[in-house]
Homo-oligomer: A and B are copies of this chain.
Amino acid sequence: MNTGRVTTARRGRPGYDLESLLAVAVTVFNERGYEATTMEDLSRRLGITKSAIYHHVTGKDELLRLAVDRALDGLFEAADEAAATGGRAIDRLEQLVRRSVHVLVERMPFVTLLLRVRGNTEVERRALAHRRRFDQMVGALVRQAEAEGDVRPDVDPAVAARMLFGLVNSLTEWYRPRGGLDADALADTVCVLAFQGLRRSPPATR
């Protein structure tokens, strides 16, 4: 099983490189849950011995750290890009949402794993702390957009920030990249829904 992967990852000797090993590990973590997965499970699924896994990583913990960093790096790069564009906060916020949808599509298994982290180990607590820092940045952007008069007055900025990324994160539950809807179209729809709303006419003019 997974022999196709082994072949493409081969570097002169049978086995996995770190990248393909990580991809399989993340799939297993997402299927069974990180906590419930043992090195034995990984070894079986990869078709290699545990010591062959330890050739690449120090253990399950390091695989998790590499995986959630893949997701977090993408999200923080998106935030840096949005911050660098300047302009009104509401536009930077919309750009951040749009870029985050792309990160989610491109790194779906890593983001899915990140969203399931619950904080039982040092690596998990660190990931949760990074997620909180990201959420705080989003919250600050919404507050700034509100201060600039660009957010509906009947919306609490903290709640709106939670909901925006609740919407983005919920894409991991149903979106599959091969479904005919590409990342651009998906990001457009998220932004239309969240920033302009589903209704054609704003209620004030109805």
Besides A90-B199, A163-B167, 12 new A-B residue pairs in contact (Cβ under 8 A), listed by A number = A33-B36, A149-B200, A152-B192, A152-B196, A152-B198, A159-B189, A160-B198, A162-B175, A167-B167, A193-B197, A195-B199, A196-B202
CB distance from A101 to the nearest CB of B (A): 11
CB distance from A88 to the nearest CB of B (A): 10
User: Cβ of A84: which chain B residues have Cβ within 8 Å of it?
Assistant: none
User: Cβ of A190: which chain B residues have Cβ within 8 Å of it?
Assistant: 163
CB distance from A189 to the nearest CB of B (A): 5
- Decide if A78 is an interface residue (CB 8 Å cutoff): no
Which chain B residue shows the least CB distance to A156? B189
Flag if A195 contacts B195 (CB, 8 Å).
no
* Known contacts A196-B202, A199-B196: A163-B189 contact under CB 8 Å: yes
Q: How many residues of A contact B (CB 8 A)?
A: 45
User: Cβ of A170: which chain B residues have Cβ within 8 Å of it?
Assistant: 163, 166-167, 169-170
- Decide if A155 is an interface residue (CB 8 Å cutoff): yes
